[in-house]
Structure 1
Amino acid sequence: MPSDLVKGAATDDAANGQDQPTSSPASSPQIRAITFDLDDTLWSCTPIIVSALSALREFLTSRYPSITQTYTLEAMRAVEKRVKGERPALVHDMTASKRAMLRECAIGAGYEHQCDQIADEAIEVFLAHRNAVEHHLFEGCTDLLHRCQALGLRIGTVTNGNADPERIPFLQPFVSVHVCAAHVNASKPSPLPFLRACELLECHPSQVLHVGDSIENDVVPARQVGMRTVYIPYPRDSGSGDGVKNGDGSGQQCAPDYVFGTLTSFCEGLQGIVQGA
């Protein structure tokens, strides 16, 4: 890891959106850092979640069978939805909400005296498989991260989910800052995760390039805070429109600065973007 991973748990001021940079650097600022969305940007998320839920069910069936006998997967999802409705503090914390669901299901299945132990064990099983992403990386992912390092860019990640670079060995040498929705009690498309990432990267937003697969959750909020943006749609395109630059985006908060079809094509174009900033 380039340095100890800094996670984005915010101060009260930051959580209230009061840590925004107050002045811009000179025009055409140099890009000094890059942030990535994770799921469906660096890897395909669906097979990972399917595998994690399957592993969770297998663990519960083998150790605490009354839970899976009492609750189908759909029923467990309904419990999690109810728990979030009853405890708004969990809405932006996918790990805490899933742990709370597991605790409720343990109680409902007759394991009330072991409910905390079961929830702790089960969430660890889920997270281990949730962060086993290596076999689902999009082509060009590792080459892109190496290119970022070679260009001297600090690397951060901004996600709504519970993928965690500390639990993902291949990411550890690259990522120095990680912000998830739980850290700032706000999910994308809120601007707060992006502002927190820029703060931790010690960069003005205009010096940071954000890369993501969603116009709504990545491009729009990143542009709103002044970051430059790269849009790589998911599912992946064959590459038509690679490198298209959409002007300065004035009055076009939905328009990314650059569009690429794949991580590989973005990797090939990254040096030109950084040097041309």
Structure 2
Amino acid sequence: MAATVFGQVTRRVGAIVAALAVGIGTASAATAAPPPEGARYIALGDSYAAVGGLAPIAPGSAEDCGQTVNNYAHIVAEAKGYELTDVSCGGAKTKDMYERQKEWTPPQLDALTADAELVTVMIGGNDSDVFGGTVENCIKATFQLPIIDAPCTHRIGEAPITTVREVTYPAVKQVLTSIREKAPAARVLIVGYPWLVPAQGECLPQMPVLASDMPYFRRLQSELNGAAARAAEETGAEFIDMSAASEGHDPCKPPGARMVEPILLTDHPVPLHPNAYGQQAMASQILAHL
């Protein structure tokens, strides 16, 4: 039984890592409809910005980026009447703001214009494989013999947290600085990641993380969101904090109550990513901030 569960987990984690590394889904070849008249809004980011559950792929979006028609950028644009350019893409790292992530996707910062009124970005989780790599290593540590308490805490240790402080934070800060240079008149919002694990307890098997390791994951995610918040403060950007809004809506909660899907026992095409409810919640926080 343990071997069977481990095999299922390994396959699902493989799906997560692959999605984070190369993008998600296949885009329609259809041409996007003409945007409405209104102020220009540019959306940048990774798969958490792009993916909205089982919704259709956004027409005209880049191949394999996984943008759905109900991601927070589309919701905000429709609500405010913005002319949206969404270049968010599954697997994006901070370096993909400046260089091609794929042969057919220009650097995301190339989408910025001097007349942009609003820019949102959600980035940092893929840098140094902080999300996917730590999840994968944690699950391996959990199943590693001998079984110990808090295996992720003890077997992975401080390395990912140190990486966020020393590598991810300055990279995110540089992205925000570059956005300001290219879109000097825009309001720049960086969106924080919703909680991936509960504050306490566990929910095996859908999230194969022990209760004793939940504080470790919360601390890692707090460090990542804290890096985004500090970078925003130091560059004149604005941080959209999802921690309070997503508390109690983590992957351990039942369908309809969770904002992010679990690793196992979900029909979501990409596990450990926002569903439609999660995208709506992020859009609501952005709209409230605006």
> TM-score scaled to structure 1, two decimals?
0.32
Greater percentage in helix: 1
